[in-house]
Homo-oligomer: A and B are copies of this chain.
Amino acid sequence: MAKYVYLFKEADGDRKDLFGGKGANLAKMTSWGMPVPQGFTITTEACTKYYEDGEKIADGIVEEIFEALAKVEADAGKKFGDEKNPFLVSVRSGARASMPGMMDTILNLGLNDVSVKGLAAKTSNPRFAYDCYRRFIQMFSDVVMGTPKSEFEKIIDKVKAEKGIVSDTELTAEDLQNLIALFKEVYRKHQNSEFPQDPKVQLIEAVKAVFRSWDNPRAVVYRRMNDIPGSWGTAVNVQSMVFGNMGDTSGTGVAFTRDPSTGEKKLYGEYLMNAQGEDVVAGIRTPMTIDHLAQTNKAVYDQFVEIAGRLEKANKDMQDMEFTIEEGRLYMLQTRNGKRTARAAIKIACDLVDEGMITEQEALLKIEPKQLDSLLHPQFVAKALKQVKPIAKGLPASPGAACGKISFSAEEAVERADKGEKVVLVRLETSPEDIEGMYRAEGVLTVRGGMTSHAAVVARGMGACCVAGCTEIKIDEEKRVIFIGGKKYTENDYLSLDGSTGNVYGEQIPTEQASVSGDFAKIMEWADKYRALKVRTNADTPNDAATAVKFGAEGIGLCRTEHMFFAEDRIPAVREMIVSKTVEERKVALAKLLPMQREDFTGLYMAMEGRPVTIRFLDPPLHEFVPHKDDEIKELAKTMGLKFAELKETVEGLHEFNPMMGHRGCRLAVTYPEIAEMQTQAVIEAALAVRKKGIEVKPEIMIPLVGEVKELKYVKDVVVATAERILKENNATMEYHIGTMIEIPRAALTAEEIAKEAEFFSFGTNDLTQMTFGFSRDDSGKFLDEYYSKKIFESDPFARLDQIGVGKLMKIAIAGGKSTRPDIKLGICGEHGGDPSTIEFCHNIGLTYVSCSPFRVPVARLAAAQANILNPRIKPQPAETRYLIEN
């Protein structure tokens, strides 16, 4: 029969999957003879079974719990509910991956009307004992039984008011005894039963509550943000209570083996004597630094330092430890790999290698790739940030720090930026026409829209700072003012945006640039050494390309040519092309775009210095390039010398019921091959131009939205004919390649056919996700929240690749592609290309490269290295233990 409950001294400290992080570490510390208050762990499997059984703890598990309890009681020489020497426990969650503060904890369990007397006697502190009891009633009622805390707080307030006192600490032992009676009354009223006096009943109910807390909303959200599967479940640790508040020889504290902010190697922490953990948190007294303990209790300090050293060495990582001193005796309550800043993570990883404690590979596995992001963007100067308070908070849509004066429209942002002014663009929401303004602004702030709104997606792509969905802002675009918290801000006021936190500040805050040298450079060097996947970037401008090269990009995996079409100087020609009635008219308009596109590509090639550049041909539906409101159409008609009615008809003719599934991608090139001709000409002529400057490019032309090989063949024929004509005219030859996006399910399903024409595949996982799930990113916001809360989805499929469904299509496509063309180059250029878990998947299924936004390039390099260390694809490595990245 399966065993679900283990004493700390029985459990296997290497089985975090079974005992959770906390339980495994308690087991380890116990096995190493460290002073750990004893107890037992109920496994994660018990949690899974609890849910499978319809939220019930099986009888067998209850029995196991009581057996373990009896053993621990016997060892401690104490008894649950004893009047003289009561056994009290804490009941804590402990998942495989650390989820701090997400789940529930119950302290002082075992108190009842009898054992509270025993505690009073043992501590010689009746006030403390009764305070513990009333706290326990409150905590148990709230966490376990769902009676709101506020019900109890109201009573405390009433009692205090009656007594004319202000602070809780002024309540006497008698006051607390009275309170306990009132609290039990509240419990009775709400639960229709007496507060349970049987500690065993308390215990089982508490265990259930911890299991339930695995699925509370904030835990579900946390898991979604951190890629933690819902199937893991949490373990429950039942541990003897020890008290740091038994007088002046008792105390409690927290310490790190290294500085979690800087990574500096020194014991770092604080403690309070005669206190419980709560008091440290409450901040009533100022804690001492850990060094101070050396002066007051050298023996305990030395013992702690020794234990800390052993723990760091054994766990090969910086430790975060909780300890309690009970009447001069040290107890270790828990240890774990400590959370740390990105800067500290990098320094610690490098130092541990220098100290010979870990290998380079292990060092790479210790850094959470996503964390790097924060190091790559400009940040507010830390000291300056401490002196200001945010005036509003939105969603942290795209990291970085931005500071500038308020600009109300994209055009205005461009104009003012041209004059050298620093502006932030503040909009209700953004649309494709705003691209240039977004690009020129320091940062973007929107009132509406979520993490996958236009503003958020585009800003992340650009590496620009963006705070989205800041609903506290009221914009009056006409009067050119915004209101935040009742205060008015105009175009002359500064805003500062923190894209990593979502904070908005109403003043100027200085920023500082990221540095990619030192330890950071060393980590990147190691990452490059151990990875198999190539890392390219999605870049549409020379500026983006240069940033990406600085961050280590090995090529451009996706240049979206349409972004160039939106620029102010181009859009007139684009619109002229759209309203053209004949091929000839269209060619005239395209001829105007040609020199600009050629210049675009020349700039990109120069910035990439000979690295491969993949250029995707025009993708979006044409209606994105024209205005839709009558007055805008009128104005445009005037500018273009057209009749309003005529232009309106053209615009209406472009209307689509489902633009995502409309006339776009290669369908444009099939109907208007002259667009592909112009783009090919620009690609080849630009390559010829940079050749003169000594840079040799092998352009890669990527045809979007292919679903049938004959589509690709048709467009490819146009491209090849044009390219060959241009080369012949220039009396030149050139290596160039033609491939396709795989972003339509049918392309994946018929990949063996597609590969007959395509020299490379690039997975466009944004569209592929939309089509595979059958919902559009723009519309899914209406129901996805409900899907998360009903546990239908655990993560946003647009942020983290759906490896099951979309992943299956990718595997089908890879198998098909390779069967036709064994050496086919395979990449990914959807937004997922910058997501570490997706990168690991891409490595495992055998892609050649991932392509992501410039600021994600270092993230991808690290994630790619981790993937290859865990599952070596090239030059097989000695087997590494799979580390759970917990930092």
Contact = CB atoms under 8 A, between A and B. Distances in A.
Interface string A648-665: 000000001111111100
A378 B636 CA distance: 53
Interface string A39-72: 0000000000000000000000000000000000
Interface of A is mostly: helix
Interface in A744-772: 744-746, 749-750, 767, 770-772
Interface stretch (A109-117, A144-152, A540-548, A802-810): A802-810
A667 interface: yes
A813 to B, nearest CB: 12
Contacts of A774: 661, 705, 707, 743-746, 767, 771
Given A659-B657, A708-B792, A783-B667, A749 B772 contact: yes
A778 interface: yes
A846 B662 CA distance: 33
A32 interface: no
Contact of A791 (B710, B743, B780): B710
A748 to B, nearest CB: 9
A796 to B, nearest CB: 13
A659 B658 contact: yes
A750 B670 contact: no
Contact of A663 (B708, B767, B782): B782
A779 B809 contact: no
A763 to B, nearest CB: 14
Given A778-B657, A783-B667, A711 B792 contact: yes
A779 B780 CA distance: 20
A186 B808 CA distance: 63
B746 A779 contact: no
Nearest to A786: B671
Contacts of A750: 804-805, 808
A783 B670 contact: yes
A586 to B, nearest CB: 14
A776 B657 contact: yes
Contact of A662 (B714, B782, B802): B782
A218 interface: no
Nearest to A775: B661
A44 B776 CA distance: 46
Given A707-B773, A711-B792, A793-B708, A749 B805 contact: yes
A787 interface: yes
Number of copies: 2
Given A745-B772, A776-B662, A808-B749, A786 B657 contact: no
Contacts of A671: 782-783, 786
Nearest to A655: B779
A488 interface: no
Nearest to A778: B657
A867 B708 CA distance: 27
A802 B767 CA distance: 21
A292 interface: no
A790 interface: yes
A875 B824 CA distance: 46
A708 B657 CA distance: 26
Contacts of A661: 658, 660-661, 770, 774-776, 779
A667 B662 CA distance: 23
A707 B805 contact: yes
Contacts of A808: 749-750
A749 B809 contact: yes
Contacts of A809: 745, 749
B670 A786 contact: yes
A650 to B, nearest CB: 13
Contacts of A663: 779, 782-783
Contact of A745 (B662, B771, B793): B771
Given A783-B670, A805-B707, A772 B792 contact: no
23 contacts: A658-B658, A658-B660, A658-B661, A661-B661, A662-B780, A663-B783, A667-B775, A670-B786, A670-B790, A707-B772, A708-B793, A744-B774, A745-B745, A745-B805, A745-B809, A746-B774, A746-B802, A746-B805, A746-B806, A750-B804, A750-B805, A771-B772, A771-B774
Q: Which 4 A-B pairs have the closest CB atoms?
A: A746-B805, A661-B776, A662-B779, A744-B774
Given A658-B779, A662-B782, A708-B773, 18 more contacts: A656-B779, A656-B782, A657-B779, A661-B770, A662-B779, A663-B782, A663-B783, A670-B783, A670-B790, A705-B774, A707-B774, A707-B805, A708-B793, A710-B792, A745-B772, A749-B805, A767-B774, A771-B772
Interface of A: 656-663, 667, 670-671, 705, 707-708, 710-711, 714, 743-746, 749-750, 767, 770-776, 778-780, 782-783, 786-787, 790-793, 802, 804-806, 808-809
